[in-house]
Amino acid sequence: MGSEYCALNYYAPDEDAFYLSYLSDFKDRQDTREMKTCSMPQVLHDPARVNALITGGDHTHPHNARFSPGDLSGRWNPARVVTEKTERVFQRELFVFNRRGDGACSVYSVNYATRVVSALRGGQWVQIGHVYDDNGNIRMFEGMGW
Beta-bridged to residue 117, according to DSSP, are: 110, 129
Q: Which residue has the higher pLDDT, 78 or 110?
A: 110
Question: Cβ contacts of residue 23 below 8 Å, gap of 6+?
Answer: 5, 6, 7, 60
Q: What is the pTM of this model?
A: 0.81
- Enumerate the domain spans of the chain: 6-140
The pLDDT confidence band at residue 143, using thresholds 50, 70 and 90, is: very high
Report which of 86, 94, 100 is spatially closest to residue 114, judged by C-alpha positions. Answer: 94
